[in-house]
């Protein structure tokens, strides 16, 4: 049985481990990504007590994290109304737990928090081009493409 709960400081090592895996898997889409465990730990430690951010964990029956989702609230300065949005920054489920609806439940939980507690006007998720699994989860949940960013790498060797 998997259930979703707010992450705690005791979960941070597991979440950082999964974050490292997420970074490794994302290298197919973004080869310039780097991962620093201490920076990640420091960042998530602060976010655990930030009222405008939320880290949730999907945990197994032994209360061991098998997935996580990190969100934060952003106030957009370029809109005069409807300017609060929730950014779904990171979503990861361990490979052996994929295909069981855990990512969907993590996203739904984050959405409920953002809408009911944080009173956001929109929710966005950044998904790397080619990450069809993440795209599928979000499209099934009602997300639609909104802004597409094109990147040209410069000054690279090879």
**Quick one: average pLDDT of 109-114?**
97
Decide if 97 contacts 67 (C-beta within 8 A): yes
pLDDT tens, 44-98? Answer: 999 999 999 999 999 999 999 999 999 999 988 876 667 899 999 999 999 999 9
User: What does the pLDDT average to over 120-124?
Assistant: 93
Six-digit token string for 134? 């993440």
| The pLDDT of residue 18 | 97
Judge whether residue 158 has pLDDT over 90. no
The DSSP letter of residue 10 is G
C-alpha span between 139 and 31 (Å, rounded): 25
Average pLDDT, the chain: 92
Residue 25 — φ and ψ, nearest 5°?
Answer: -70, -30
Whole-prediction pTM: 0.90
Average pLDDT over residues 3-19: 97
């Amino acid at each position: 049985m998997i259930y979703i709960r707010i992450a705690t400081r005791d979960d941070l090592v597991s979440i950082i481990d999964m974050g490292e895996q997420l970074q490794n898997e994302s290298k197919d889409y973004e080869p310039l990504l780097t991962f620093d465990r201490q920076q990640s730990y420091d960042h998530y430690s602060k976010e655990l007590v930030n009222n405008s951010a939320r880290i949730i964990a999907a945990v197994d029956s032994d209360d061991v994290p098998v997935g996580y989702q990190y969100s934060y609230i952003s106030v957009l300065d370029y809109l005069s109304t409807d300017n609060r949005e929730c950014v779904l920054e990171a979503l990861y489920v361990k490979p052996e737990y994929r295909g069981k609806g855990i990512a969907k439940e993590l996203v739904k939980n984050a959405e409920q928090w953002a809408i009911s507690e944080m009173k956001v006007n929109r929710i966005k998720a950044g998904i790397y081009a080619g990450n069809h699994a993440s795209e599928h989860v979000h499209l099934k949940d009602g997300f639609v493409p909104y802004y597409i960013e094109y990147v040209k790498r410069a000054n690279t060797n090879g």
